[in-house]
Amino acid sequence: CAALRPYIAHIDDIYKDFTSYKVRVPVTGAIILDESYER
């Protein structure tokens, strides 16, 4: 993708920053639905 080419040289730093961020935010959860699974 041409839009991402400027970032290719920094991919290791970007990935490291992302994984560090991911540890600090909740990445799990639950969805509670009614019996018809509509609400």
**Which one, of 30, 34, 18, lies nearest residue 7 by Cα?**
18
Q: Is the pLDDT of residue 4 over 80?
A: yes
Note the pLDDT of residue 1.
Answer: 87
* pTM over 0.85, yes/no: no
Distances (CA, A) of 11 to 3, 8, 34, 38: 14, 5, 43, 41
- Tell me the per-residue pLDDT of 10-29, one tens digit each, with 9 for 90 and over: 999 999 999 999 889 887 88
Is a pLDDT exceeding 90 seen at residue 38? no
Provide the pLDDT for residue 18: 94
pLDDT confidence of residue 27 = 74
Host H or E run for residue 24: helix 11-24
What is the spatial distance between Cα 16 and Cα 10, in angstroms, rounded to a whole number?
10
Give the model's pLDDT for residue 39: 82
